[in-house]
Amino acid sequence: MIHTRGLRRTFTTRHATVEAVKGVDLDIAEGEIFGFLGPNGAGKTTTLRMLSTLLPPTGGTATVAGADLLREPAKVRLHIGYVSQVGSSFAELTGRMELEMQGRIYGMSKAHARSRAAELLTSLEIDDAADRATKTYSGGQKRRLDVGIGLMHRPQLLFLDEPTTGLDPQSRARMWEEVRKLRRAGTTVFLTTHYLEEADALCDRVAIIDHGRIVSEGTPDELKRQVAGDVIVIGVDGAAAQVLQLLQAQSFVREANLEDGSLRLCVDRGETAMPQILRLFDNAGIELGSLSLHRPSLDDVFLQQTGRSLRDAA
């Protein structure tokens, strides 16, 4: 659905040149939810604006929805929807007007645009606000309308630039649900986010971008596994040293330490290590106090790749 090679963009202002995107290679498959995770100024919006024909790249090539971005931007536009970071509706018009206008631009008849708008208003649960000026909308309503505008013509590919920034947890959960619905309908989604939980919960694949470069890419699980595998913490009542020795001898344990009376194990895959540990303890007749599995977060991935915490960077 999207293939880019060496995509780059340099901004030249009076005072400086900013290399916003420094050569990005992406391959996004049809039907995928792809996430771009990165701190402020990483180059997420710049990349999205290039891929949606808004901004000419300084270098590199890209095909988007089957068309060459540089040679056939008009063709690209037919198949994509773009929900910008700042929004897309005009304060003085109603949500319904905005949706209908959008549909008409894509060549829908009046009647068709009207029914499609009504359908989206219902599925996005903004029926109640449909005929009010958008300046009266709540943040969540406005964001859902933005998504609706992007979806009006049923694009194959939807770009969502920070769809949930500034939303409360409840609105965020609803937005996630909308995105999952899109996947079920076969739409490819390329979204950006600052939120680790969001990339983790929503995306099939994630690319971590920092200072205009992709520093890591894969499924959320793959990325987390890159860090150090999983961590298992075991509480034992007595004989901790003896248990430690036993565990260190096991091949599935990469590393084992005794910390504050608990044993901390690093393993490649927590879900296979847990039953092995249980069996081991059972055979040796050792009493188990507690057992817990800790997965590294995408934050750990970011930290490892960039040396900074995403929360600090953002």
Partner 1 sequence: MKVLRDTWLVFERYLTVLLRNPAWMIIGVLQPVLYLVLFAPLLKSLASTRGFPAGGAYNVFVPGLLIQLGLFGASGVGFGLIAELRAGVIERFRVTPVSRFALLLGRAMRDILTLLVQSLVLLLLSIAFGLQPTVPGVIIMLALVALIGLGMSSLAYTAALALKNEDSYAPLVFTLSLPLLLLSGVLLPLSLAPDWLQHVAQANPLSYAVTAARDLFNGHGGDPDVAKGLAVMSGIALVGVLVGARSFNRAIA
Of 20 and 117, the one with the shorter C-beta distance to ligand ATP is 20
Residue 89 in contact with Mg ion, rule: CB under 5 A: no
Of 208 and 232, the one with the shorter C-beta distance to ligand ATP is 208
Q: Would you give the end-to-end CA distance of the chain in angstroms? A: 29
Of 54 and 78, the one with the shorter C-beta distance to ligand ATP is 54
Radius of gyration from C-alpha coordinates of the chain: 24
Letter string b/e over residues 239-268, b meaning 16 or more CB atoms within 10 A of that residue's CB:
ebeebbebbeeeeebeebeeeeeebbbbbe
Of 4 and 89, the one with the shorter C-beta distance to partner 1 is 89
Which residue from 1, 7, 24, 44 is in contact with ligand ATP, where contact means CB under 6 A?
A: 44
Question: Which listed option, partner 1, Mg ion, ligand ATP, none, makes contact with residue 106 (CB within 5 to 8 Å by class)?
Answer: partner 1
What does DSSP say about strands 59-64 and 2-12: parallel, antiparallel, or unpaired?
antiparallel
Which token pair is 239? Answer: 């004989």
Least Å from the CB of residue 135 to partner 1: 10
d(CA 60, CA 282): 59
The residues facing 186 across adjacent strands are none
For residues 23-62, which are near partner 1 according to CB under 8 A?
Answer: 49, 52-56
For residues 215-254, which are near partner 1 according to CB under 8 A?
Answer: none
The H or E element spanning position 123 is helix 110-123
Which residue from 82, 190, 195, 302 is in contact with partner 1, where contact means CB under 8 A?
A: 82
Residue 97 in contact with partner 1, rule: CB under 8 A: yes
What does DSSP say about strands 188-193 and 157-161: parallel, antiparallel, or unpaired?
parallel
Contact between 49 and 21 (Cβ < 8 Å): no
Of 43 and 148, the one with the shorter C-beta distance to ligand ATP is 43
Contacts of residue 73, defined as CB under 8 A and 6 or more positions apart, other chains included, come to: 53, 67
Question: Which listed option, partner 1, Mg ion, ligand ATP, none, makes contact with residue 260 (CB within 5 to 8 Å by class)?
Answer: none
Under DSSP, the state recorded for 286 is: P
Residue 40 in contact with ligand ATP, rule: CB under 6 A: yes
- Selected range binding Mg ion among 27-35, 50-58, 81-89, 218-226, rule: CB under 5 A: 81-89
Residue 89 in contact with partner 1, rule: CB under 8 A: yes
Instruction: Please provide the size of the chain in residues.
Output: 314
Residue 52 in contact with Mg ion, rule: CB under 5 A: no
Least Å from the CB of residue 194 to ligand ATP: 6
d(CA 245, CA 292): 19
Residue 155 in contact with ligand ATP, rule: CB under 6 A: no
Which residue from 90, 122, 239, 292 is in contact with partner 1, where contact means CB under 8 A?
A: 90
Sheet holding 157-161, edge to edge: 80-83, 157-161, 188-193, 33-37, 205-210, 213-218
Question: Which listed option, Mg ion, partner 1, ligand ATP, none, makes contact with residue 312 (CB within 5 to 8 Å by class)?
Answer: none
Which residues here bind partner 1, judged by CB under 8 A?
Answer: 11, 49, 52-56, 74, 77-78, 80-82, 84-93, 97, 101-102, 104-106, 133, 149
